[in-house]
Amino acid sequence: MSPSDATRVLASRSHGVLGTVHEERGIDMTPTVYATHDGFVGSPIDRVKPKSSYRLQRLENLRRDPRATLLVEHWDRDDWSGLWWVRAELRWTGEDAGDRADLLARLLAAEFVQYEDQPFAGMLVFEIVRTIGWSATAMPGE
């Protein structure tokens, strides 16, 4: 899969697994929904799902090391001809993503009924550094 195809597939999906770097354990993986726009990815810290705190480990990890990875994939145990994955290498833009965070929040609100009222405690915004991918046969969705 070419980098441009991988970027297209990433933008056509809305759920993946976000990896951040914990200083002792190594990689922390968290399922997430996301939106993309103009070379950036937004992953919400929402108030919809129960949390013991909004001081999430992934945010603490990013404060120490802004690198992250988003993995999106399709698996079918019975039909391997449709297997594919896309990995986006990301760099967190920091605590105040301003207008970009607002735009990504609006995109998520349009995509998910649960987010209609934008119940976000925050939005993690990442610049897409590089996308790579692999597909067993035809491009996903074709």
Distance of alpha carbon 10 from the chain centroid: 9
Residue 55 falls inside a structural domain:
yes
Domain region containing 23: 3-135
The answer to whether the beta carbons of residues 105 and 44 sit under 8 Å apart is yes
pTM score of the predicted model: 0.91
Span 86-142, pLDDT tens digits: 999 999 998 888 899 999 999 999 999 999 998 888 899 999 999 999 999 866 655
The count of structural domains within the chain is: 1
- Indicate whether 90 belongs to any domain: yes
Residue 142 lies in a domain: no
CATH number of domain containing 90: 2.30.110.10
Percent helix / strand / coil, the chain, rounded to 5? 25, 40, 30
Report yes or no on 82 lying in a domain: yes
Residue 107: CB atoms within 10 Å: 17
